[in-house]
A = this chain, B = another copy of it.
Amino acid sequence: MWKRLVYDYHSYFDHQSVFMIKKSRKEKEKKARRDLIIDSALQVMKEKGFENATMDEIAEAAEMGKGTLYLYFESKTALYLAISERGARLLNQQIARILVQEATGLELIEKIGFVYLDFIRDNPLFFTAFNYFEHVVNEGKMAGTSLIDDCNTHAREAMAYIVRALQIGMQDGSIKSTIDPRMLGIIIWGASRGVMHMAFLKQQNSHLQLLDDVEYDLNTLVTGFINLLRTGMKK
């Protein structure tokens, strides 16, 4: 009986484990190929630009058949959203690491800002991908897809981190604000996106003359922005 149990247990375990391993192996491989495709897409985009990458080029870069891409992504849009999803996930991971640090709420906000800057600086394509996601959402395309949901979830998570930091700041007294922290979160999120966009353009050596009228580097720009957030402009 005990043996039986053990046997059963083992049997059950083995069976399951084999099954799970098999399944997870397959899933891992599947995930690995999915990731490979995303990597390859980013590769191509780095050379040709986000929108100019073609499925052919991506497939070639991934050393796969073009049709294979469609086994992993139902459409080009889906692939692009997956890129956005990955970017958001990575960014959130970094922001999450901030949140556990010992610091005032205001300092947390500042740190999040710099993490954001570094992220965009290192992965400008993800910034474009974020915009793409918003564009897709705006057009109402792919609504209800899990990818859209995932991206939305990531966006809300990022926002949650910010709101969290704001709440901490309001509690520890480092931040004063009369408005709803969620509202404030959206404002800061939006404002940051805009400032990051400026930084992004600057980094691309864009010929937007506007940016050439002042000498500055990205750090100064973001530092200035964060200082502004901190103290405002009023004397």
Residues of A that sit less than 8 Å from B by CB: 49, 106, 109, 134, 137-140, 143, 148, 152-153, 155-156, 159, 169, 173-177, 179-180, 182-199, 201, 204, 206-211, 213-214, 216, 220-221, 224-225, 227-235
Q: 10 shortest A-B CB distances, which residue pairs?
A: A194-B194, A232-B232, A190-B198, A191-B191, A176-B235, A231-B232, A193-B194, A190-B195, A182-B214, A152-B209
CB distance from A234 to the nearest CB of B (A): 5
Partner of A220, one of B175, B183, B206, B210: B183
Q: How far is the CB of A69 from chain B (nearest CB, A)?
A: 17
User: What copy number does this chain have within its complex?
Assistant: 4
Asked if B183 contacts A214 (CB within 8 A), the reply is yes
Which B residues are CB-close (under 8 A) to A227?
A: 179, 232
- The secondary structure that dominates the A interface is helix
Q: A138-B207, A189-B194 are in contact. List 13 more A-B contacts (CB 8 A).
A: A134-B206, A155-B208, A156-B210, A175-B233, A180-B214, A186-B216, A190-B191, A190-B194, A190-B196, A190-B221, A191-B194, A194-B196, A231-B232
Chain B residues in 8 Å Cβ range of A152 = 207-210
CA distance A153 to B213 in the complex (A): 12
Residue in B closest to A177 when the chains form the complex, CB atoms: B233
User: A50 CB to closest chain B CB, in angstroms?
Assistant: 10
Q: Is the CB of A231 within 8 A of B234?
A: yes
Q: Which residue of B is nearest A228, CB measured? A: B232
A230 near B231: Cβ-Cβ < 8 Å: no
CB distance from A173 to the nearest CB of B (A): 6
Q: Is the CB of B174 within 8 A of A235?
A: yes
